[in-house]
Amino acid sequence: MCDNMIQLNNKCEMCMDCPLGKTRTNLVFGVGKPNADIMFIGEGPGEQEDLKGEPFVGKAGILLDKLLNCVHFDRHKNIYIANIVKCRPPHNRDPLDDEQQACMHWLEDQINIVSPKIIVCLGRIAAQKLIDKDIRITKDHGKIYNINGVAMMPVLHPAALLRNENLLPGTFEDFLKLRELYDEMGLAK
> Which residue's CB comes closest to ligand SF4?
21
Task: Report the 10 Å Cβ neighbour count for 45.
Answer: 31
Residue whose CB is less far from ligand SF4, 45 or 171: 45
Residue whose CB is less far from ligand SF4, 12 or 122: 12
Least CB distance from residue 20 to ligand SF4, whole Å? 4
Residue whose CB is less far from ligand SF4, 86 or 157: 86
Q: Which DSSP helix (H) or strand (E) runs through 49? A: helix 47-52
Cβ(28)–Cβ(54) below 8 Å: yes
φ, ψ of residue 146 in degrees (nearest 5): -100, 115
Angle between helix 3-12 and helix 97-114 axes, rounded to 10 deg? 160
Residue whose CB is less far from ligand SF4, 87 or 160: 87
The binding site for ligand SF4 (CB under 6 A) comprises: 12, 15-18, 20-21, 85-87, 99, 102-103, 106
Least CB distance from residue 17 to ligand SF4, whole Å? 4
Cβ(8)–Cβ(113) below 8 Å: yes
